[in-house]
Amino acid sequence: MKAHLLYRDADFDVKSPDPPGAADLEQDLELGYLLDAMADGDSFTGTVARTAMLHPLLSPEAVRYRQEALEDCARNRDFVARLYELTERALDAERGGLFFLLSNGRPEYLLRRAVGVLRNLLPIIDELRQVAEAGSALFRSVAFLGFFATIRTELDDAAFQGLRSAVRRLELRGGLLMSASLAPGGAVEGQVLRLPRDENRRLLSRTAMKRPSFSFTIPDRDEAGFDALAALQDRSVNDVANAASQSLDHVRAFFASLRAELAFYLGCIRLGDRLSAIGVPLTMPAPEVVEATGRRAVGLVDPCLALRAGRLPVGNDVHPGARRLLVVTGANHGGKSTFLRSLGVGQLMMQAGMFVPAREFADLCVGAIFTHWAREEDEELLHGKLDEELARMGIIIDAIRPGDLLLSNESFSSTNESEGSEIALQVVQALLHSRVEVRLVTHLYSLAAALQALGTDHVAFLRAPRRTEAGHSYRLEEGPPLPTSWGIDLFDERFGTHLGSSPPPPGADG
Amino acid sequence: MLGVEGRQVTAEFRSILFPPGFDRVIPVTTDDALHDLALDQIVDRLVARAGRPDTAQVDLGSVFRSPLGVEREVLYRQAVFVALESPTVRAIAADFSEVLRTSGAYEASASASHDGHQRTRLHLTAVQRYVSAVLKLAEELPAALHAAGAGSEALFGLLDHVQQLTASADFQRLQTESAQLEVQWRAVRYNVWIRGSRVTVAPFDDEPDLSAEVEEAFARFRQGATRDYRVQYREADFDHVQGWVLEKVAHLFPDLFAALESFMAESASFVDPTVARFSHELRFYLTYLDYLQPLRSVGLATCYPVVSAMSKVLHATATFDLALARTLVAKHFPVVPNDFTLRSAERILVISGPNQGGKSTAARTIGQLHHLAALGCPVPGSGVRIFLPDRVLTQFEREEQLDTLEGRLGSEVDRIHGLLEAATPRSVIILNEIFTSTALEDARVLTAEVLKRVSELDALCVCVTFIDELSRLNEKTVSMVSAIDPTDPAVRTFKVERRPADGRAYALALAGKHELTFAGIVHRLEQREARS
């Protein structure tokens, strides 16, 4: 019995390990802002959202499955919120969780705890049955309708009665009946708890067993005897305590996975509210491209920047079409990094089944997404910066596959332009040759110029405007690279110098 | 080499440590000497593994302290070692010993038990372990000994004994009766009902399993693998409540419990003393082989020495200090082996040379070689021919509490005096850096004097000293020098070579390394001139 609200045929595992490069991806795309908005203070939702985003869906069908479910949720917000609240109650059914820690793993404690919690869960399970009845009329998506149908079949009246009866028997009100054998040392062993046979019940006897029977009673003051009896009982309920605890685990796991899957959709709804409030346009993206238009984004913004700044950033349009390489050049602080992030985040959101912060967005589903950012500071001073960059690229190359996407931001800028360009050119050409999608921001003119030679059928170029030309607008324009990147402008601005207006003195470098 | 002509069964087999008829008191090596030779750690292992020596059994620690002076006795043990080098033979012997030990533990529990029913049951287990151990030994040992080509008089003696034992009527009755009782015990099934403080025992009626019902009801919720909540219990302690339950179970199965009772009465002392002794003495061999194992696994050679009670010739190739090698191998450091030779009339090895060069190690190695060979053990090195000494006597510097020089020197002189008193022409004497607390001239005279006395005694001796002229004392002395690496004198080679002592070689090499030799200084001056 699975909820399967996120994948049609697979479980969503909140704890699935990060794919390679996930930590860099999260850091470089500044996903934290987005995840925080989805979590809205609930760290569990934050974790769910993070896991969902870091494990992109790989097919248009999988994306549509979630998109429909998300639209369903948006239409039935209150219903979904109530269902989520029910799962939280189910997971809270074990009050006084510390009690478990004090149990020292004693089977009797384990059993009593499991039975107590299962007893509390029975009414919540019953409530879930009613919710499934009601929901079937309200929802339209394959995901939710399938879920409700599962509940109605798996938890029909007969099954529910079975749960009730099992819980009652676990309460062991009539004492412990067990079969046993003898250990080599003479002790009771091989205990199996049993249900008494009706035909062995007799008038005036509380113990329904065959005859002859022999009894003894622990004397009132025999403390050691009571301890010994308790130890015997512990050993005897070991298997049943295990069965009960595992049963409880099954129920909890069911509600936990349901809760995680609902948390994702509720997080998306919260994020949508936040972005809409700022004025960010949201669109359900097309997870595949039409021949005529190809890949395209219209008014694409970086949602993380929007959330951080609390205002609508300048959107960008880009139409790479069929081209697998996009190169962004131009002035520093020209919005290149932000644009690269918006491409990455947009792709991730689309492949998580979410809306995308754009007026229009269509792209192919890529495989894994990797980022290679020039790092501001070298954390490990023992390594040279270029060494560190190469090492990181090496790790990516170890993991990247055809159909994946690499976002490269000023890679190999830690060495001189000629070396950096040569390394980067070889990397990029090798990746393209291996059918990896590449989105590249660089101020390495030699690199950009060399990539131009690949021809406009293969490379799309965008250019950040010089600040003096476009004011504070960060809108990128299509256009080939220009041989300077105006870092001097920034310097001049900050220092009040005029280095940019006169040629650099001979021998000066960078 | 083993001196054992095929299978030679003796009716009087008793021990795998001492040949039949052995009846001598052996001089015991002192703890100080064992410590100086770093063999005390092997003794400690032996004692730790053998446990407290029980009155009926041989004290293995004392066996390790007692060198055998007779070739036949040494060969008797060497042959056992050789057989146990076969993994099969070893596994069979070790397994036997282990099972016999558990049998003893069960019998001890039986004796300690206050519960009559439990006592009979523990006794049954003890007997079963014993029976199975003996049967297995009798069944597996012959083929293993043959396959290993082993010619151990001791082990064939043991085998013969064991075969007679298993053929005996008493043993066979133990075997069949214990097996029948076990089958009946395992078949016992009963029900227990616990309600409050009342416990009822009754026949089992194949009632339905509660866990199965619970699992089935909740299986629909299963999402994936779950944790196993079962507590892993060892067999339950047999407390008095268990005793009461067992007593009630005995009411359900009266015949079985009566049979256990009479079985115990009939088989009160079931262990054959000779196999018990074998099991105990085996530890001497296995502990020592285990000690060698890590050394052998890194390729260090050990061998069974050719021993002589007559010839004092020493020959050892690629030998090493057993204790130091253990430490080095554990740390993945290389072990440097050395060769030692004493020909015809040679008796005294005088080892000199730079400090930290392995001189003390060499002295210790030679002492170990003699002691271990005389115990019948395999020794470090290859092609070893060696004299069987009556004892190894040692004089190593003591870390004593005496503050004054007079005190230290006095105590040292006392100890050397005692050593020379105890020494016989058959002793091996190891003198390590003696008289270091005196003036050089005094040390030279005193050490020469001691060596002269040793020469007169005709005992074997190793003398580590910084006074290299002592190596030219007389025709009995042989000079050995701790070697240095000529390319890098700061590196310790730990190699000790047989060659004349030359006190200056080390200083020259060190100078060379720093280019402060005559040639080096001239060369550097020329280079500097050429640059400027």
Residue B195: list chain A partners with CB under 8 A: 174-176, 206-207
Please judge whether A232 and B236 are an interchain contact, meaning their C-beta atoms are less than 8 angstroms apart.
Answer: yes
Nearest-neighbour CA in chain A from B191: distance (Å) = 4
- SS3 annotation, B223-240: CCCCCCCCCCCCCCCCCH
Judged by a CB distance cut-off of 8 A, whether residue B121 touches chain A is: yes
Considering only CB atoms, B214 lies closest to which of A179, A185, A244, namely: A244
Residue B85 pLDDT exceeds 70: yes
Helix runs in A237-381, H state only: 238-278, 303-309, 336-351
Q: Which is higher by pLDDT, B391 or B226?
A: B391
What is the spatial distance between Cα B258 and Cα A227, in angstroms, rounded to a whole number? Answer: 30
**3-class secondary-structure state, position A458:** coil
Please give the pLDDT value at position A509.
41
Judged by a CB distance cut-off of 8 A, whether residue B232 touches chain A is: no
DSSP per-residue string spanning B257-296? HHHHHHHHHHTSS---HHHHHHHHHHHHHHHHHHHHHHHH
The mean pLDDT value for B437-447 works out to 70
What is the spatial distance between Cα A170 and Cα A65, in angstroms, rounded to a whole number? Answer: 41
What is the spatial distance between Cα B99 and Cα A176, in angstroms, rounded to a whole number? Answer: 38
Instruction: For residue A505, give the amino acid letter.
Output: P
**3-class secondary-structure state, position B384:** strand
What is the spatial distance between Cα B63 and Cα B284, in angstroms, rounded to a whole number? Answer: 8
**Degrees (nearest 5) of the Cα angle B361, B366, B368?**
90
Answer whether 0.90 is exceeded by the pTM. Answer: no
Nearest Cα neighbor of A117 from A239, A249, A209 is A249
What is the spatial distance between Cα A304 and Cα A206, in angstroms, rounded to a whole number? Answer: 70
Considering only CB atoms, A257 lies closest to which of B223, B239, B240, namely: B223
**3-class secondary-structure state, position B504:** coil
Mutation choice for B interface testing from A167, A239, A257, A261 by most B CBs within 10 A: A239
A349 Ramachandran zone, left/alpha/beta (phi>0; psi -120 to 50): alpha
The mean pLDDT value for B30-41 works out to 89
Tokens of A94: 């074990």
- Scan for tokens 């040392």, then name that residue: A185
How far separated are the first and last CA of chain B, in Å rounded?
73
Please give the pLDDT value at position B222.
86
Considering only CB atoms, A194 lies closest to which of B195, B207, B249, namely: B207
Considering only CB atoms, A242 lies closest to which of B207, B219, B229, namely: B229
The mean pLDDT value for B497-512 works out to 61
Q: How confident is the model at residue B9 (pLDDT cuts 50, 70, 90)?
A: very low
Is ipTM > 0.90 here? Answer: no
Nearest Cα neighbor of A295 from A362, A342, A369 is A362
**Degrees (nearest 5) of the Cα angle A323, A325, A326?**
100
What is the spatial distance between Cα A366 and Cα A59, in angstroms, rounded to a whole number? Answer: 9
Sheet (strand B190-195) strand order? A188-193, A176-182, B190-195, B198-203, A214-217
What is the spatial distance between Cα B532 and Cα B528, in angstroms, rounded to a whole number? Answer: 6
Judged by a CB distance cut-off of 8 A, whether residue A14 touches chain B is: no
What is the spatial distance between Cα B229 and Cα A237, in angstroms, rounded to a whole number? Answer: 11
**Degrees (nearest 5) of the Cα angle B385, B390, B393?**
95
Residue A212: list chain B partners with CB under 8 A: 202-203, 251-252
Please judge whether B236 and A182 are an interchain contact, meaning their C-beta atoms are less than 8 angstroms apart.
Answer: no
Please give the pLDDT value at position B509.
55
Nearest-neighbour CA in chain B from A254: distance (Å) = 6
Please give the pLDDT value at position A335.
81
β-pair type (B198-203, B348-352): unpaired
- The region of weakest confidence among A428-432, B130-134, B330-334 is A428-432
Residue A121: list chain B partners with CB under 8 A: none
Judged by a CB distance cut-off of 8 A, whether residue B186 touches chain A is: yes
Interface of B with A in 201-230 (CB under 8 A): 201-205, 207-224, 226-230
Judged by a CB distance cut-off of 8 A, whether residue A173 touches chain B is: no
Please give the pLDDT value at position A201.
82
Give the burial string for A71-94 (b: 16+ CB within 10 Å, else e). Answer: ebbeebeebbeebbebbeebbebb
User: Rg (Cα) of chain A, in Å, rounded?
Assistant: 32
Instruction: For residue A60, give the amino acid letter.
Output: P
User: Rg (Cα) of chain B, in Å, rounded?
Assistant: 32
Nearest Cα neighbor of B320 from B494, B490, B493 is B494
Mean residue pLDDT of chain B comes to: 86
What is the spatial distance between Cα B239 and Cα A235, in angstroms, rounded to a whole number? Answer: 14
- The region of weakest confidence among A190-194, B75-79, B216-220 is B216-220
CB A189 within 8 A of CB B192: no
Residue A236: list chain B partners with CB under 8 A: 192, 194
Tokens of A488: 């001097």
Please judge whether B202 and A207 are an interchain contact, meaning their C-beta atoms are less than 8 angstroms apart.
Answer: yes
Interface of A with B in 95-124 (CB under 8 A): 105-107, 110
Considering only CB atoms, B238 lies closest to which of A185, A216, A218, namely: A185
Judged by a CB distance cut-off of 8 A, whether residue B193 touches chain A is: yes
pLDDT digits (tens, 9 = 90+) for B516-526: 344 544 454 45
What residue ranges in B378-426 does DSSP mark as E strands?
379-380, 382-387, 391-395
Please judge whether B190 and A179 are an interchain contact, meaning their C-beta atoms are less than 8 angstroms apart.
Answer: yes
Considering only CB atoms, B229 lies closest to which of A192, A241, A251, namely: A241
Backbone dihedral angles phi then psi of residue A369, each to the nearest 5 degrees: -115, 130
Average pLDDT of adjacent 10-residue blocks, chain A of 510 residues: 93 92 93 96 95 96 97 96 95 64 74 92 96 94 96 94 94 93 93 90 78 94 96 94 92 94 97 96 91 85 92 90 87 78 96 97 93 65 56 82 90 68 81 87 83 86 68 71 53 52 44
CB A320 within 8 A of CB A284: no
Sheet (strand A369-373) strand order? A369-373, A405-409, A437-441, A325-330, A459-464, A477-478
A507 Ramachandran zone, left/alpha/beta (phi>0; psi -120 to 50): left
Residue B215: list chain A partners with CB under 8 A: 243, 246-247
Backbone dihedral angles phi then psi of residue B54, each to the nearest 5 degrees: -95, 155
Prior bond of A60 cis (ω within 30°): no
Interface of A with B in 336-365 (CB under 8 A): none
